Every structure is written in C-alpha cells, then in structure tokens.
Amino acid sequence: MSSSSPSTFPSRPGQRILLGISAGIAAYKSALLARLLVQAGCEVQVVMTEGAQAFITPLTLQALTGRAVRTSLLDPAAELGMGHIELARWAERIVIAPATADLMARLSQGMADDLLTTLCLASDADKILAPAMNQAMWRNPATQRNACQLHQDGWTLLGPDQGDQACGDIGPGRMMEPEAIAAFLLGHTQVETPEETSPPLGSTQGQGIHIVITAGPTREPLDPVRYLSNHSSGKMGFALAEAAVASGARVTLIAGPVNLPTPAGVTRLDVESAVQMLDTAESLMDTCDIFIGCAAVADYRAESPAEHKIKKQDHQPELTLRLIKNPDIIATLAARPDSPVMVGFAAETRNVVAYAQDKLKRKGLDMIVANDVSAEQMQQGLGFGGDRNAATLIWRQGEDILTQDEPAQDKIQLASKVISQALKCLELSS
C-alpha cells in the first residue's frame, strides 16, 4: 500500500472514526494518524487502553482531535454525557492502531474487560485494526489463530509491515505507516481481499490437511569425522513449516542437521543422510496430502564410508573418493501411484526458470519453487543462510504451466505464498 501526503487525501467531512490505541511502542504513530484524519475532515474520537497511556498521553491526542480522550469504562463523568453505548453507536468506523497481540487475543475471544473491547462488542461499525508487535509474537501460532478468527469475524487487518523493530529484530510486525492507514480509511487505496491474494498467516485454508516438509542439508559420511554437505541453513523449510501450521494444517518436518528451533505446533523428525530422509518420508506417505521437498539433498554419497578416519599421507598428494548417486527423494515419491501433491525446489545459478520447468515435468511434480542461488543473489543476502529470499512459483493447472514471480521478501512471507499455492494445487487435484 503506497503512502500519500495529507494534501492528496479526498475530503470526507463528517466521517466518524473511533481511533483505538493499545499499549505498543507504535502508539506514537497514532498521533500522526489522528492528525491526518482530522485534516481530511473526519470526526475522530480517541479511546486508549490503560497501557497505551504509558506510551503517549491523552492530552496529546485531545489537542490533535479537539475531543476529550476516553480511557475508562467506569468513568462517571463520561457516562453522564456520551455513555459507552452511545459512543459505540456514534462510530461509523472503529480503527485500532496499534493493535497489540494481547488486544487481538482479547478481541478474538469476545472479551469486554475495558472500554475499547466493550465498544468493539457493542458497535456495528466497520472494524479495522493495524497489528504491531515483535516479529516472533506475530509469527506465533496463537497470534495467527487470533488474526484468522478476527478476519472471520469481519475485521479488516491492515499489515503488519516488515522491517526493523524497536527491539532490534527484523521481520513482520511493524505497524503500517499512518499515511498508508489514512489512505485506506479515506478511500485513497484499497486492501487486497483474501480472494485477490494469498491468505495471510492465520488462514484456516489447510484445516484437516497433513503436510510433510523436508528441510536443511543432508550429510553423507566419508569417515567418522568428515562428510559431504552443502550451505543450506534450513531456514526456508522451517519457515514453510511455520506457515503451514498457521494455515491450520498438521505438519511433519523432516529436518537435516540444522541449528534451528522447532516451530510451535510442528512434529519434527531429525535425519542425517539422504537415505534416512527418504525412508522417513516414505513412512509418512499413507497420511500425507502435500509433500514439499525443500531440503538440499546431496546428489552423491561415498560408496563405502571409511570405518576409521582417513589419514593424510605425506607421500600421497591426491585422494580419490568413489561416489555413488543418492536416491532422488522427490522423484521417488512422485512416482508412487498414491503420491500426494508434490512440491519441489530448484536451486539454480543460471537459466533458473527453464531448469525448474524441466525439473517439474521430468520428475512429475505438481509445483516447483525456483531459486536463484548465484553469487550475486547470495551477496544480497538472499537464499542460503539469509532471512530473505526471492523465487518464481511454477505450477500445473490442467495442461498449462503457470508462473508467478515473487520479489525479495522475508522467508516467512514467501513461505505463506508457497503454502497457499500448494493448497490450491491440492484443491485442483481433488
């Protein structure tokens, strides 16, 4: 959503907006939002939670809106005038910015334990919230379930944006900028609906579906202390598992040797080699609806790993290793007569899309995610080891092969789009 200067907003005299502010550091942005709305001709009534007042004072908002800020449900003076029920009826729109994880949890459960949540329950107004919280809090499955429930209850969610956060983290969770929120409220821009874009984290699109995901590298032993492997960190596969859980699916993650915490709600099975990964995956196929092969599986392994450490010989300047091909995990599973929807990954350094399309056809896959892992991309922090990635999604739709380019973005955002498209492929196959 693009931002605009106040002078470009269309005037909407008389639009009555109840601006709710909850206890987050982003509350300072709400002052600018209130000012922009007032400048555009809106009537703005601010309601603050008790915690919000620790971040910004009611007097500041009163000066910007020309209205006394409401903070308490049990305020005798306020109830003599515009009581909370009358205030709920007055509002044409309720906008909560910032909306903390705590407030979203209370709203999703229908609680009415302070003035703001009571007004939300008592009002038939359009309801909009702009989430703002630490990236880990936003990604937590509990928050995602609450976001999904609020969406189902009719709330419009604006954001969150991603980027630097006050705590020093980087990722999704930043409150959308006041100019962008004002632009939406004043009709300058629109928010894409779930039918127009991938469902946000928190969707229940995957309810009742079992998704099996492989992640990370494999290690192929040469001797007891050495192995063949690659640079895969496992971050993309773990992000896919996180996004799959957020979609409502049951998720089993087959992880190669990585140093990553298990996402909440995920069943994790650790393996080392390609053969172990294949054996584990095959044991899950009877209940699997979607298989996503995100692991960077070693193409070759030692024909006969040494029983003891291979010693360096001063008189032997060269060492010859005899390697044999590892099983092709995704092709093996795709060849099964009862194979689930098969999603592969193609990490290439050139001719990325062409090679990926060939792999899609050659291995009988339903979908493939093409990654450019060239040195130029790696220097930009994309791909192996980074927190961001860019990709091209390629999938079958009948006789057609469709593609969708995804620019550089946080891996959890890209993962959500991959999961969404994989679920659509499952729908097409049924």
Give which of 318, 226, 333, 243 is closest to 279, Cα–Cα: 333
Give which of 173, 47, 167, 165 is closest to 116, Cα–Cα: 47
Identify any residues that bridge with 95 across adjacent strands, giving them in sequence order. Answer: 19, 128
Question: How many angstroms separate the Cα of 86 from the Cα of each of 69, 89, 124, 138, 214?
Answer: 15, 5, 12, 33, 55
Give residue 77's pLDDT. Answer: 57
Average pLDDT score over the chain: 85
Q: Is 191 within the bounds of a domain?
A: no
Regarding whether 82 and 223 lie in a shared domain, the answer is no
Give residue 127's pLDDT. Answer: 92
pLDDT tens readout for residues 169-227: 776 788 988 998 888 888 754 444 333 334 444 444 667 899 999 999 999 999 999 99
Give residue 418's pLDDT. Answer: 95
Give residue 150's pLDDT. Answer: 86
Among residues 168, 185, 202, the one where a domain terminates is 185
Q: Is 307 within the bounds of a domain?
A: no
Give which of 307, 216, 198, 309 is closest to 269, Cα–Cα: 216
Task: Single out the catalytic residue among 42, 148, 167, 288.
Answer: 167
pLDDT tens readout for residues 328-380: 999 999 999 999 999 999 988 889 999 999 999 999 999 999 988 776 765 66
Q: Does residue 293 have a known ligand-binding role?
A: yes
Regarding whether 282 and 216 lie in a shared domain, the answer is yes
Regarding whether 251 and 332 lie in a shared domain, the answer is yes
Task: Enter the DSSP assignment of 41.
Answer: T
Regarding whether 180 and 220 lie in a shared domain, the answer is no
Report the DSSP pairing between strands 220-223 and 226-228. antiparallel
Cα separation, 258 vs 216, in Å, equals 6
What's 14's domain CATH number?
A: 3.40.50.1950
Region of poorest pLDDT, from 134-148, 253-267, 320-334:
134-148
Alpha-helical runs (H) found in 202-342: 235-246, 274-282, 329-334
The residue to which tokens 């999961």 are assigned: 419
Contact 21, 46 (CB under 8 A): yes
Residue 168: Cβ within 10 Å count? 7
Give residue 388's pLDDT. Answer: 81
Cα separation, 195 vs 37, in Å, equals 29
Alpha-helical runs (H) found in 109-190: 115-122, 135-139, 141-152, 178-185
Q: Does residue 329 have a known ligand-binding role?
A: yes
Q: Is 306 within the bounds of a domain?
A: no
Among residues 169, 185, 201, the one where a domain terminates is 185
Q: Is 403 within the bounds of a domain?
A: yes
**Percentage of the chain modeled with pLDDT above 70:** 86
Regarding whether 221 and 170 lie in a shared domain, the answer is no
What's 387's domain CATH number?
A: 3.40.50.10300
Contact 67, 55 (CB under 8 A): no
Mean pLDDT over residues 142-154, rounded?
83
Extended beta strands in 148-304, E state: 156-157, 161-164, 170-174, 210-215, 220-223, 226-228, 250-255, 266-270, 290-293, 300-302
Q: Which helix (H) or strand (E) holds 21?
A: strand 16-21
Confidence of residue 271 (pLDDT cuts 50, 70, 90): very high
Regarding whether 241 and 121 lie in a shared domain, the answer is no
Q: Does residue 75 have a known ligand-binding role?
A: no
Q: Is 363 within the bounds of a domain?
A: yes
Q: Report the domain count for the chain.
A: 2
Q: Does residue 424 have a known ligand-binding role?
A: no
Query: Residue 284: which residues within 8 A CB-CB, separation 6 or more?
Result: 210, 212, 252, 254
Quote the tokens at residue 105.
Answer: 């949890």
Q: Is 417 within the bounds of a domain?
A: yes
Regarding whether 137 and 35 lie in a shared domain, the answer is yes
Quote the tokens at residue 225.
Answer: 């202390």
Q: For the chain, first and last CA: distance in Å?
A: 35
Residues in the chain: 430
Regarding whether 51 and 105 lie in a shared domain, the answer is yes
The residue to which tokens 């929120």 are assigned: 181
* Catalytic site includes residue 120: no
Regarding whether 181 and 214 lie in a shared domain, the answer is no
Regarding whether 108 and 62 lie in a shared domain, the answer is yes
Regarding whether 285 and 362 lie in a shared domain, the answer is yes
Regarding whether 133 and 170 lie in a shared domain, the answer is yes
pLDDT of 301 > 60? The answer is yes
Give residue 248's pLDDT. Answer: 83
Contact 330, 343 (CB under 8 A): no
Give which of 382, 396, 392 is closest to 353, Cα–Cα: 392
pLDDT of 82 > 60? The answer is no
Domain span at 266: 210-301+318-429
Q: Does residue 295 have a known ligand-binding role?
A: yes
Q: Does residue 330 have a known ligand-binding role?
A: yes
Q: Is 13 within the bounds of a domain?
A: yes
Cα separation, 3 vs 182, in Å, equals 9
Q: Does residue 412 have a known ligand-binding role?
A: no
Question: How many angstroms separate the Cα of 132 from the Cα of each of 99, 125, 186, 410?
Answer: 6, 22, 21, 17
Q: Is 54 within the bounds of a domain?
A: yes
pLDDT tens readout for residues 36-72: 999 989 999 999 999 999 999 999 999 999 999 998 8
Task: Enter the DSSP assignment of 323.
Answer: E
Q: Does residue 327 have a known ligand-binding role?
A: yes
